[in-house]
Structure 1
Amino acid sequence: MEVDQETPKAGVVNVTSIESWDSYVQQSKSHGTPIVAHFSASWCIPSVAMIPFFEELALTFHDITFLTVDVDDFKDVATKYEVKAMPTFLLIKEGDVIGKLVGANPDEIKKRIETLLQSNTPFVV
């Protein structure tokens, strides 16, 4: 089964270049749109397992930009944000990382997204 990596599914956007990543972060700064970024790898079973849940979140939370970043394709972005394990989820508001969750924990990521929408309080990493 072939999957088109360029086609966003259920509101999730696959980052296709460092420039597109920078553009989304800049939009977050200028428009105040929060970002939830899923740093993943195709060889990481927990990352792949989180894809349907992440897509479901994108359908639920319309005021958030959901991005997927393949760490093998964009090592510079992963390094910049100190992503060392997959999956890693970053919560970004106004261009700043305000939360980081390492591991496949659907309940926790949903809870943190709900908190992201309600406040500017940073999360304990």
Structure 2
Amino acid sequence: MEITVTAENFQQQVLQAEQPVLVDFWATWCGPCRMLAPVLEQVAAERRDIRVCKINVDEQPVLAQQFQIDSIPTLLIFRDGKLLGRTTGYCDKQTLLQRLDSALQA
């Protein structure tokens, strides 16, 4: 299950999460974001050890600016409140899982 994150719940949902968090910065008008959405849904369903969150850059410009999101989709990987990895653009499920695992092993 994907979680919608806002400036109000970012601290709780991402920084204070007990498990690693994959954050998708996206927008409704973004074609690659729409292509990535089913991939993220599959990852959320298969990897219960990872929390998948979505942040709409149009609705949450402060968070987009805070993390210097200048291109979407951008995926950020957090664990224990620390940013471990960043991926911009569409990627398939296998590539995404590899990037997740390598960031979490670091």
Query: Which structure is larger by alpha-carbon Rg, 1 or 2?
Result: 1
Q: How many residues align?
A: 105
TM-score by length of 2: 0.91
TM-score by length of 1: 0.78
For residues 113 and 61 of structure 1, what CA distance do their matches in structure 2 show? 11
Q: Which residue of 1 aligns with 2:4?
A: 14
Which has more strand, going by share of residues?
A: 2
Pairing 1:26–2:15 present: yes
Structure 2 residues not aligned, in runs of 5+: none
Matches within 5 A, 1:1-125: 11-15=1-5, 17-28=6-17, 31=18, 33-106=19-92, 107-117=94-104, 119=105, 121=106
Structure 1 residues not aligned, in runs of 5+: 1-10
CA pair 99-26 structure 1, distance change in 2 beyond 3 A: closer
Structure 1 outlier segments of 4+, above 3 Å: none
Give RMSD over aligned pairs: 1.3
Q: Which residue identity lines up with residue 53 of structure 2 in the other structure? A: L
